[in-house]
Structure 1
Amino acid sequence: MRIERLGDLGSAADVLRALDAGARRTGLPPPAALIGEWFGAQAVIAPSVAVVPVDPAAVFDVAPGDRIDAVGGGWIGYLSYPDPGADGAPPRIPEAAGGWTDCVLRLDAAGGWWYESLTGTALPDWISAALQSPAQPGRCDITWREPDLARHRAGVLACLEAIGAGECYQACVCTQFTGTATGSPVDFFADVVARTAPARAAFLAGGWGAVASLSPELFLRRTGEDVSSSPIKGTLPADADPEQLRASVKDVAENIMIVDLVRNDLGRVARTGSVTVPELLVVHRAPGVWHLVSTVSARVPAELSAAELIAATFPPASVTGTPKIRARQLLSEWELHRRGVYCGTVGMASPVAGWELNVAIRTVEFDADSQVVLGVGGGITADSDPAAEWQECLDKAAAIVHRESRERRTAS
């Protein structure tokens, strides 16, 4: 593998824009990017990758490495949330898409850029030229339409009724903002990443459209035989007192229920006795909000395939409910529209550094006709208030759709 220090190239958003402009000039596929906290780095960018539709059963099928000082390349892509909505409509973009990159640009924790190539190939001339000619930022404006308050409220009330009847204990009821975009999705992504700094941001694009994920949440990290997941449950606006999260009976109960679900999911494929909870109920800041985060870890057999691990754990526990199978069935009745990439996962599987996959929340889906969808939602428990749950949806969307919170949520 070739590793070459490039020095200071600017911010991840600037480098992504420069590579996008360079790829367009050269007639190559666009770049793909992971920005925030990925593989111990601040950013991992594939300069050009053909992200094409794939069989959902074939995603992230790479034997995971365990290096912490390099990524090199690998398979980068997404897998959509699998369930339909009540309207039965087909997917808006492919259910899964991705592609292989032999090289990446990596921004290390100290702020230095590196070129890494799995095949030992020197830095291509077109990349050098692109990095020496910073692109002027473009604009991407989205005209957002109002989400369906009445449908969300009906879903929350139906969930409360199901909880009362013992059909489920918790479920993540979601809604959607929809809109029309003018401009390039890469400019939208670069702008929001620069403004909000999400921990698990990811960008992919192709002839089918684009995915701009501004996620704060880790779905799966796998290095060798070690696997971990960090579910988020519990949210407050960023201007609220974060200690309210730890004091909230509802948020703590919700988080612990999902931790148990993650433990159960990983336990299906983990080595006996290896599932642990090294982090429980820790408050983290995310764009526009505070979150309550826990971490579950396990050891799995080295020969465990990507398909087997994903089958045991997907969709992510934090965006489904308990019990998981029944909650998913009910959510498909309560939510009118298919979630799509939202609540699925975006990430990379590297033969050098392993896997890192986000939970695709705060994720905007662009189709080939510039129509966009942003899903938002929250976990419903027995003491949820429909108005507070709606406000949580608005709080989560605010940093992306430039809305001001109209009310302050309470500790629910």
Structure 2
Amino acid sequence: MRIDRLGGLGDAPAILRALAAAASHAGLPSPAALIGDWFGSRAVIAPTVTAAPVAPRDVFDVTPGGRSDGPVGGGWFGYLSYPDAGGDGRGPRIPEAAGGWSDAVLRCDRDGIWWHESLTGAMLPDWVTQALQSIPAEPDAAVAWGVADRDTHQRGVLACLEAIAAGEVYQACVCTQITGRLQGTPVDFFTEAAARTQPARAAYLAGDWGAVASLSPELFLRRCGEDVASSPIKGTLPASADPAELRASVKDVAENIMIVDLVRNDLGRVAHTGSVSVPELLAVRPAPGVWHLVSTVTARVPVELPMAAVLAATFPPASVTGTPKARARELLADWEPDRRGIYCGTVGLASPIAGCELNVAIRTVEFGADGSAVLGVGGGITADSDPAREWEECLHKAAPFTAAHAAPRHRVPAATAPRGGPRPPARTHP
């Protein structure tokens, strides 16, 4: 593997924007990017990737490397959509799964230093060198959003409360969608939003089929050699609140632990016996504009076990389905009229050097090739949920996307207090 030090080139969204402009000018496919906290780095960007549709069982089909000291080298960038249809029975808007291979990446380490890494030993292409010398102006892209269907969401929440009362489920994440029309390019939309909100698990992928712009805070799976980890989020408060309230909330602590048990069960299906553990439970962590309650589950999984088998046991992510998982998924398909698509699926990279890291694709926009945009929002419903407040929660989660271009260019909180009083005790986050 070739590794070249490039130095301090600038922030990742700007570098992605420069590479996207240069690739377009050269007639090459768009870059793919992971920005935030990926592989112990600030960013991993493939300058150009042919992201084509693939069968869902073939995504991330790379034997996981075991190197955890920084270098990534390259690998398979892709996404996998949430697998279930909505109540209307319609098919996917974009491919259920897509991705492509890159022999080389640009990686920004923790200190802000950029590196060129090549699995084949190839040098940095001239067109990339030239692109890095001229960063385009800040993007001008926006989405003209429509209005979400409040009545349908409220009916879904009420149906969920009835199912909880009947003992069919203990919790389920009921979601809705807002649709719109893109003005500009998907990569410009993504780079502006990533720079402004600074999410921990942002990811971008595009192809002839459209694009996925994910600004997620959540780790679904990290696989490095035999070691596997998942960090579900359950519990959210605005940054202005006292973070101690999360640990003091009986509802949110119970829900987080319930999802931790579900993740333990999922990983236990494929892990070495006795290897599943919970090294971090109920940690309060900051994110843009909010506090989150996060736990981490780890396990040891045989390296030779195909990624398809790992995903069969764990996907879709526990935190965006419900408990029991199978029954929650069945009911959600009736309560939600529209297919979730990439929302609540996963985006990430499988590297033969550094392993595989995947996010939970929440706070994610799905762009069609025709400029259509779909944003999913939702939250976890429990026995004490108030349907009206759950709707307000959806609006808060959508706000960084739907109101972004009407706001000044600075870091904007991801959630604020609803009108008429303080924000209700922590709701779940999808």
How does the TM-score come out when normalised to structure 1?
Answer: 0.98
Q: Distance in 2 between matches of 1:100 and 1:205?
A: 13
Offset of residue 32 of structure 1 = 0.5
Given that residues 289 and 395 in structure 1 are in contact (C-alpha distance below 8 angstroms), is that contact kept between their aligned partners in structure 2?
no
For 1:285, give the aligned amino acid.
P
Give identity over the alignment, percent: 70
- Please tell me the residue identity of whatever aligns with 1:18: A
SS in 2 for 1:259: helix
* Contact residue 287 and residue 399 of structure 1 kept, 8 A: no
Over residues 360-380 of structure 1, what are the superposed CA-to-partner deviations in whole Å (9 max), with x where a residue is unaligned? 000000001111011111111
Q: CA RMSD in A?
A: 1.1
Determine helix, strand or coil for the equivalent of 1:61.
coil
Summarize deviations over 1:61-93 as a string: whole Å, max 9, x none.
001112122000000000000000001111110
SS at match of 2:10: coil
Which AA in structure 2 matches 1:8? G
Equivalent residue, structure 2, for 1:202: 203
| CA positional deviation for 1:169 | 0.7
- 1:411 to 2:412 alignment: no
The 5 Å alignment of 1:4-403 reads 4-68=4-68, 69-402=70-403
**Are the aligned partners of 1:250 and 1:384 in contact in 2 as well (CA < 8 Å)?**
no
> 2:42 is aligned with what amino acid?
Q
Distance 2:279 2:73 in 1: 29
Q: Contact 1:288 / 1:395 at 8 angstroms: preserved in 2?
A: no
After TM superposition, give the deviation of residue 237 of structure 1 in Å.
2.2
CA offset at residue 384 of structure 1?
A: 1.3
SS of corresponding position for 2:17: helix
- Are the equivalent residues in 2 in contact too, given 1:64–1:352 (CA < 8 A)? yes
Counterparts of 2:182 and 2:33 in 1: how far apart (Å)? 20
Q: Is the 8 A contact 2:103 2:120 kept in 1?
A: yes
2:75–2:350 CA contact under 8 A, matched in 1: yes
Describe the SS at the equivalent of 2:358: strand
Please give the secondary structure, in 2, of the residue aligned with 1:4: strand
Contact 2:346 2:360 survives alignment (8 Å): yes
Structure 2 distance, partners of 1:28, 1:287, is: 34
2: CA distance, partners of 1:185 / 1:243:
38
- With 143-152 and 339-348 compared, the bigger mean Cα shift is at 143-152
Which letter does structure 1 place at the counterpart of 2:211?
A
Q: Residue 241 of structure 1: CA displacement?
A: 2.2
Distance 1:395 1:238 in 2: 13
CA distance in 1: counterparts of 2:394 and 2:282, whole angstroms: 21
CA contact (8 A) 2:139 2:192 kept: no
- Number of positions where the alignment pairs a residue of Structure 1 with one of Structure 2: 412
Q: Which 5+ residue runs of structure 1 have no aligned equivalent?
A: none
Paired with 2:349 and 2:151, the residues of 1 have a C-alpha distance of 38
C-alpha displacement at 1:164, in angstroms? 0.7
For 2:288 and 2:56, the matched residues in 1 are separated by 30
Question: Which residue identity does 1:14 align to in structure 2?
Answer: A
The answer (yes or no) to whether the contact 1:211–1:363 under 8 Å persists in 2 is yes
Query: Residue 76 of structure 1 aligns to a residue in which SS?
Result: strand
CA deviation string 1:377-411 (max 9, x = no partner): 11111111112222222222222222775433221
Matches of 1:241 and 1:53 in 2, distance apart?
Answer: 45
Identify which range, 143-152 or 346-355, moves more after superposition.
Answer: 143-152
- Aligned partners of 2:307 and 2:124: how far apart in 1? 31
**Is the Cα contact below 8 Å between 1:236 and 1:392 reproduced in 2?**
no
Whichever residue aligns with residue 158 of structure 2, its letter is L
Partner Cα distance (1:353, 1:105) in 2: 14
Question: How many Å separate the matches in 2 of 1:237 and 1:373?
Answer: 25
Gaps of 5+ in 2: 405-415
C-alpha distance in 1 between matches for 2:36 and 2:215: 9
Q: Give the Cα separation in 2 of the matches to 1:394 and 1:111.
A: 35
Secondary structure of the residue aligned to 1:293 is strand
Q: For residues 374 and 184 of structure 1, what CA distance do their matches in structure 2 show?
A: 16
